[in-house]
Structure 1
Amino acid sequence: MNAAPFRPEELAARFQREYGAAPDGIWQAPGRVNLIGEHTDYNEGFVLPFAIDRTARVAVRVRGDLQVRLLSTYGDQGPASANLNQLEPESAKGWTKYPLGVLWALREAGITVPGIDLLLDSDVPPGAGLSSSHAIECAVISALNDLTSAGLTAQDMVLATQRAENGFVGAPTGIMDQSASLRGAEGHAVFLDCRDQNATLVPFETGPAGLVLLVIDTKVSHSHADGGYASRRASCQLGAEVLGVGALRDVQVGDLPEASGLLDETTFRRVRHVVTENDRVLQTVERLEAEGPSAIGLLLDASHASMRDDFEISCPELDLAVETARAHGAIGARMTGGGFGGAAIALTPVEAEPEVRSAVVRAFARAGYREPGIFTVSPAPGARRIA
């Protein structure tokens, strides 16, 4: 990952040097921050992410054969290569599994895709819960959609990249991250119904409210392909089966007292998080539309408490980031992303930003943790061609 992204002309020049020819174009797709709605997506519930002003960019050239060559602007490794006829699930390593997974998923869907040369550049921090992997996938599928004239809709591309994640990468993720990256818009969050994929843009502008949204990257790496994520998903499926519903989306807050008598304690807490989190998403949308971002702080706090106590996907570093930010002026804070590490977000008055930043750094130093990365993000446009 690069701290400062290459400009399109710089990326094109680098591509020319590496591959001996100019790219056919350059596409970019943003990472995302999930404002609220965690682990609700695969339960057919509601989420409220937004595309951020940090992106993955790919320069791509179509080849005349079935070979794929992949290179990034960071690291010292030479191009990775693969043959389209020999792509096998979970066979790729590192970041290359994301573009190769997209190629695999499109071929599985019956779309003819060519061999390509690709150069990746990204300033989305990996492992921070900002969906760096989906940014790569969405940039690649946007490029392939244009280069092959496949005519894929945003929803088609969302489902294809989910297929890549589930079937090729081996991560049982939902559709939230791709939806934010492909459907995002400046100054808005994406209110997504994960049952029918209906997406609505909701105003989310922090500046006019005198606020900034800080991302606190704990530097604790995580992976959605690990057992923690899969076990939480299995608990949700078990809860739905015992309660006799198609998905936890169909359980309401008022149903929880009865559910507590039907489920074991751990499964009940997993279910309670999803059910109450869905309700918090709906409340957040209502408050953003009626009052603006200054009205959602307590909902962010409640979301973090639920993920910490009921879903048990936080970690000491995330808890410290959230507690410290709140104690020094943030109006609301929560971990964001799949959990077990990654980043927290803190909705903070502009005048309190310096104190929140310094207090979190001091708290991490006292605890003996790595120094966190802290930066602001704003809702940004979704995936598109830039050159």
Structure 2
Amino acid sequence: MRVVDAFRESFGAEPQGVWHAPGRVNLIGEHTDYNDGFVLPFAVPWGVTAAVSRREDGVVRVRSLQAGEPVTVDDLDRAEGWVRYVVGVVWALRAAGHPVRGADIVVDGDVPQGAGLSSSAALEVVVGTALDELYGLGLAKMEIALLAQKAENDFVGMPCGIMDQAASALGEEGRALFLDCRSLASRTIPFDLTAEGLQLLIINTGVHHELADGQYARRREDCENAAKRLGVDALRDVTDLAGALAKLTGDERKRVQHVVTENHRVEALIGLLRAGAVREIGALLNASHLSLRDQFEVSCAELDVAVESAVRGGARGARMTGGGFGGSAIALVADDKVESVRQAVTSAYAERGWAVPEIYPATPAAGARRLT
């Protein structure tokens, strides 16, 4: 295993263990997590693998096979760049009163670059999972997810919801994860595409628009302001959508319309899956994309073209997935339509002079776990 070889090379010793945490793709439920709403992600086969040993001197040494030489951190606050996602987990564990001292860590990621499949959450969760075991903390998987989220919110400074970390920690093979982001109650839902002759294609646009910088935080602020104006704790509590919209204008009105209807779409899609009607979820995927494009305004030309061309090529439904402004779209496709969808998307991009997107199937994978 190359992460073990790199650990030996970097630190001159064997690691005490190797762990893996996956990235995620969100089937439906976008920008609902920080509004105390519902989400339905699943863990993907790609993620971050970490070889880790504990240290007793408070020092954290970190190397990424994607980033070069090891970095030594003896003052967590002075960490920079991607290393903050790693030491932020150490910081969160210590802040929660756990006796975590130091660690030697080598990480190796295979999440496709630019795909928006949450490699940052996978990195946080794999470090949390490893340190939990090495220090004998006895944390539940959701506790690890919450500490990883705290690291990203309060140490890295990204105001993400809990979905990405929860999917990485709690994912199960062949199942999607239904998560109530208020109560943190969760259950897995069967999502066996192979048995239905279906594939879920990820269309990785590979683009990231600078417009996205700060836009995530703005959308979250819009939602919080709207909730205050409506006198509710979170937009999840809006039960009379028409009445709520009558009290709002502009961006806040549009954000509320998306969040409330998206929560309903999550519940409707779960109902179809539990009824065995996997083939019928496409219309909900389409509706989700239109809402994200028009009401939440987080799509972009590359995502729109990916979705529209996939549907024209025969997909049963498609939508952007993730935070937006780039990253990936997903398309639900029958096995006999995969090539026509692939060709339709590729041709649409070529006509516009855009780089050909990567297209690959994703199946629900297992969550964070020890490998050796």
Q: Deviations over 1:12-65 (max 9, x none)?
A: 122112211010000000000000000000000000000111121000112231
**Quick one: which of 14, 17, 39 aligns to 1:25?**
17
Stretch of structure 1 that moved more, 149-158 or 223-232: 223-232
- Distance (Å, rounded) in 1 between the aligned partners of 2:92 and 2:246: 42
Structure 1 unmatched ranges of 5 or more: 1-8
Alignment of 1:317-356 (within 5 A): 317-356=302-341
Aligned length: 372
Cα 1:344–1:225 shift into 2, 3 Å? closer
Is residue 125 of structure 2 the alignment partner of residue 134 of structure 1?
no
Q: Deviations over 1:175-223 (max 9, x none)?
A: 0011111111011000000010001110101111110010011111268
Q: Deviations over 1:130-187 (max 9, x none)?
A: 1110011111100000000011111211210111010011000010011111111011
- Distance (Å, rounded) in 2 between the aligned partners of 1:299 and 1:206: 17
Alignment of 1:277-288 (within 5 A): 277-288=262-273
Is residue 48 of structure 2 the alignment partner of residue 56 of structure 1?
yes
Residue of structure 2 equivalent to 1:67? 59
Residue of structure 2 equivalent to 1:313? 298
- 3-state SS of paired residue (2:50): strand
Is residue 350 of structure 2 the alignment partner of residue 365 of structure 1?
yes
Confirm or deny: 8 A CA contact 1:127 1:222 kept in the other structure: no
Residue of structure 1 equivalent to 2:103? 116
Alignment of 1:141-152 (within 5 A): 141-152=128-139
Stretch of structure 1 that moved more, 155-164 or 279-288: 155-164
**Quick one: which of 59, 69, 77 aligns to 1:78?**
69
Is residue 158 of structure 2 the alignment partner of residue 166 of structure 1?
no
Deviation at 1:279, TM superposition (A): 0.2
- Distance (Å, rounded) in 2 between the aligned partners of 1:109 and 1:376: 39
Confirm or deny: 8 A CA contact 2:238 2:244 kept in the other structure: no
AA aligned opposite 1:87: L
Confirm or deny: 8 A CA contact 1:28 1:384 kept in the other structure: yes
Structure 2 unmatched ranges of 5 or more: none
Stretch of structure 1 that moved more, 367-376 or 236-245: 367-376
- 3-state SS of paired residue (1:14): helix
- Distance (Å, rounded) in 2 between the aligned partners of 1:177 and 1:367: 32
- 3-state SS of paired residue (1:124): coil
- Distance (Å, rounded) in 2 between the aligned partners of 1:373 and 1:92: 33
Deviation at 1:340, TM superposition (A): 1.0
Deviation at 1:225, TM superposition (A): 8.5
- Distance (Å, rounded) in 2 between the aligned partners of 1:273 and 1:224: 20
Alignment of 1:193-208 (within 5 A): 193-208=180-195
- 3-state SS of paired residue (2:13): coil
Confirm or deny: 8 A CA contact 2:312 2:344 kept in the other structure: no
AA aligned opposite 2:9: R
Deviation at 1:260, TM superposition (A): 2.1
- Across the aligned residues of Structure 1 and Structure 2, the Cα RMSD in angstroms comes to 1.4
Percent identity between matched residues is 52
Residue of structure 2 equivalent to 1:36? 28
Confirm or deny: 8 A CA contact 1:106 1:160 kept in the other structure: yes
Provide the TM-score with structure 1 as the length reference: 0.93
Is residue 76 of structure 2 the alignment partner of residue 87 of structure 1?
yes
